Structure 1
């Protein structure tokens, strides 16, 4: 079975948080200028596009990206559709005991060029619920898991207390419910509070 890319493409219209640094790619030097190669340059917030939140993002004593175990971003994922559910609670989920990760599709079509006016959030109750189910990573097709104006970030802290990693802005438009192999590796950025991720899944048959 082929791998399915569930990460947002980076381009100069990729959406990001208001006031945050948008993604840009520019050709800094052309082959005509250098005589040998084209040389590109990017600028971006680490929370643009598909990305993980390191604990340091919301806890000044939490781990930064390079301190996270790379093995914790490779595992068996369960894709679950919870379309048009404003706040996702444990009661909305039926989990497969083989799953290590949980990937939630909350919209019919996830936009990569417009910040959503409304999006599903996660209940803090999911932290202990998912820990009891041996889930170590949760992925969502939204830019964050808490309300956009939250200062307490209750869902982030509840998941961190249960040692569950957070993957945001995935694209599950073409992913049916079921079990998948999953690879969602962050870049090794020293001291960073988050990182872009190239996330892929492959159906388990």
Structure 2
């Protein structure tokens, strides 16, 4: 069996969310009893809680919803690069250049020494939009990060999201990369077929090549 790395953080009521976003909440619609044979719950959450895929609809009013996206970018060979020393500023192409030779179509970037599983990091490490453009020029189809956003938390213009929009890239955020060595893997991180949503939770894993 090839080794698997689960790169999805746990999702529960303690999961951090972007300030003002909808946190995870679970209620029981039915519980096991003498008259009920099952437990059934209802959950409420932002689709940006935990590991998730952004859809163009998230940053483009005319953009596609997540359920309409081609799955190809979310499945296949990827490279993990550590850029821990980049934070809490912007990841530039200089932080990644040493590991971009023959880069595959999917690139995941680790920015944290330890993923912030109990709080939202307002000083998160984002991407320089010029870096996004350069990666697109290299043929990258998907950018993933352990950060909550590819833009600074206080950004209003979202220049890196707009660069992604312009170049047709896909984005994974909130990945848990603490225990993943640098190198190449197979990525499996399929979004749900949510036909009107701006994002989707994913169960993201890496598999040994």
TM normalised by structure 2 equals 0.93
The C-alpha deviation readout for 1:77-100, integer Å capped at 9, x for no partner, is 100000031211111113141511
Cα 1:30/1:59, change in 2 over 3 Å: same
Structure 1 match to 2:92:
89
Whether the 8 Å contact between 1:84 and 1:120 is mirrored in structure 2 is no
Q: Which residue of 2 aligns with 1:15?
A: 16
Give the Cα separation in 1 of the matches to 2:132 and 2:152: 16
- Confirm or deny: 8 A CA contact 1:84 1:106 kept in the other structure: yes
8 Å Cα contact 2:65-2:198 kept in structure 1: yes
Partner of 1:186: 191
Q: Tell me which residue corresponds to 1:63.
A: 64
Unaligned segments of structure 1, at least 5 residues: none
- Shift in Å at residue 197 of structure 1? 0.8
Contact 1:76 1:100 in 2 (8 A): yes
Q: Give the Cα–Cα distance (whole angstroms) in 2 for the partners of residues 141 and 34 of structure 1.
A: 45
For residues 59-138 of structure 1, the aligned pairs below 5 Å read: 59-85=60-86, 86-93=89-96, 94-138=99-143
| 1:200 matches 2:178 | no
Distance 1:122 1:19 in 2: 22
**Would you say the 8 A contact 1:76–1:98 is kept in 2?**
no
Residue 162 of structure 1 deviates from its aligned partner by 1.5
CA distance in 2, matches of 1:71, 1:117: 32
**Which residue of 2 is the match for residue 2 of structure 1?**
3
Runs of 4+ deviating beyond 4 Å: none
Give ranges in structure 2 of 5+ residues lacking alignment. none
Matches within 5 A, 1:143-182: 143-182=148-187
Kept in 2, the 8 Å contact 1:46–1:194? The answer is: yes
Deviation of 1:33 after TM superposition, in Å, equals 6.3
Task: State the superposition RMSD in angstroms.
Answer: 1.3
Aligned-partner SS, 2:80? strand
